[in-house]
Copies of this chain bind each other. A is one copy, B any other.
Amino acid sequence: MKFGGTSMAGTERIRRVARIVQRQQAAGHEVAVVVSAMSGETDRLVNFCREADPLYDPAEYDVVVAAGEQVTSGLLAMHLQAIGAKARSWLGWQLPVRTDDAHAKARIEGIDSDALLASMAAGEIAVIPGFQGVTAGGRITTLGRGGSDTSAVAVAAAIGADRCDIYTDVDGVYTTDPRIVAKARKLKYVTYEEMLELASVGSKVLQTRSVSLAMKEKVRVQVLSSFIDDDAPAADTIPGTMIVSDEELEGIDMERQLITGIAADKNEAKITLTRIADRPGAVAQIFGPLAAANINVDMIIQNIAKDKGETDVTFTVPGADLARTQALLESQKEAIGYYRMISDGKVAKISVVGVGMKSHAGVAATMFRSLADRGINIQAISTSEIKVSVLIDADETELAVRVLHSAYELDASDEAA
């Protein structure tokens, strides 16, 4: 079980978490719990680091910020004891959660589970601070922001858990953002691949990295709400969304929908460089420097070469990196040899995602036609095996999502809603 910062924010909420955890134990499960820091705490600690030294030493940063989860792990163990459960905390260096040396963005190399399994078999609930680990040299590391989801999946894999339940402030994964489409449906199942595509286009229910790890380690992950009624009887029914492999889902749900969900991401910016010489290496001239500057380029569209041996190149970058990208390309104008740079920060990427589309043609066609019918102009297109994305004017985001949600028949029927 994993609980995020909102669920751990203060005594009353941690008490509630303790009851939810105890219910699972009462239902016959051996339980390990991974916790985040109280919401706001990591930001507070990160601020202290930035004030101390703008170029702070990531090894010391890890010492400071890991303290947030250390506190909540000890507190949850106490809360569990207070209601009669056996519990103890296991810090990253105590298990240990072994990571590489990449401080502030460490990768988990392994988790020693012997002590943990023995403790759990003896009826103790193991409480583990997320986000933290330890290097071979014995220094504290952290996994990067949102790393607690990854910690939870890694612990689940290490102990061979039946399930990794991730409690969040939403009660599952929806066909689309319910704030945009009132008739959005909660999905019972979603595959790892779909979840990855949904996460990468803005449905930030889980950290992408945790989903990749779950897929690799074959950990069944459930997303569910921590704000459920904690006095309800424990049950092994699935109140949230279960993230499983494509194979497992085949066995469960033969009549799957073509499209699983629709995601929107407004945090993109579009840049077009015009009249670039249509010669080998020209595109590398653009994207090499961007990669070196750690700017993540997403969609790339190269228009058909014009008569004069020139071409336009359009691509998207995270909105937060737009200014930096512009400055960088401006400085490279001669080397790249473009005529004009045209930027647009007011774009949105709309994606339809579904494993089902692998075997069905016409998904993209339905998308383009539905949008065109409502006068929504498509500025760029990209596709993967289980996703079609288009770039549109940001002002049309909500309209586009609603149009597509209906077009793919995802709207909940009145009875089901």
Contact = CB atoms under 8 A, between A and B. Distances in A.
B78 A74 contact: no
A241 interface: no
Given A67-B67, A79-B53, A93-B93, A61 B74 contact: yes
A91 interface: yes
A81 B53 contact: yes
A60 B74 contact: yes
Contact of A49 (B15, B63, B75): B75
Interface in A212-270: none
Contacts of A66: 70
A405 interface: no
A382 interface: no
Copies in the complex: 2
**Which DSSP category, helix, strand, loop or mixed, fits chain A's interface?**
helix
Contacts of A71: 45, 48, 63-64, 67
Contact of A63 (B63, B70, B138): B70
B60 A77 contact: yes
A332 interface: no
A53 B67 contact: no
B49 A138 contact: no
Interface string A103-138: 000000000000000000000000000000000001
A56 B78 contact: yes
A11 B64 contact: no
Contact of A53 (B51, B54, B78, B93): B78
Given A11-B52, A14-B52, A74 B64 contact: yes
Contact of A78 (B52, B73, B77, B88): B52
A82 interface: yes
Contacts of A168: none
A343 B115 CA distance: 54
Nearest to A78: B52
A303 B74 CA distance: 52
B78 A49 contact: yes
B48 A60 contact: no
Interface string A4-19: 0000000100110000
Contacts of A62: 74
A94 interface: yes
Given A11-B52, A52-B14, A60 B78 contact: yes
21 contacts: A11-B52, A15-B52, A45-B71, A48-B71, A52-B82, A53-B78, A53-B79, A53-B81, A54-B82, A56-B78, A60-B78, A60-B81, A61-B74, A62-B74, A63-B73, A67-B68, A70-B70, A91-B140, A93-B93, A94-B138, A94-B139
Given A11-B52, A91-B140, A94-B139, 10 more contacts: A11-B48, A14-B52, A48-B71, A49-B75, A59-B88, A60-B78, A63-B89, A63-B91, A70-B70, A94-B138
- The 7 A-B pairs of least Cβ separation, nearest first, read A63-B74, A53-B82, A64-B74, A52-B78, A67-B67, A11-B51, A60-B74
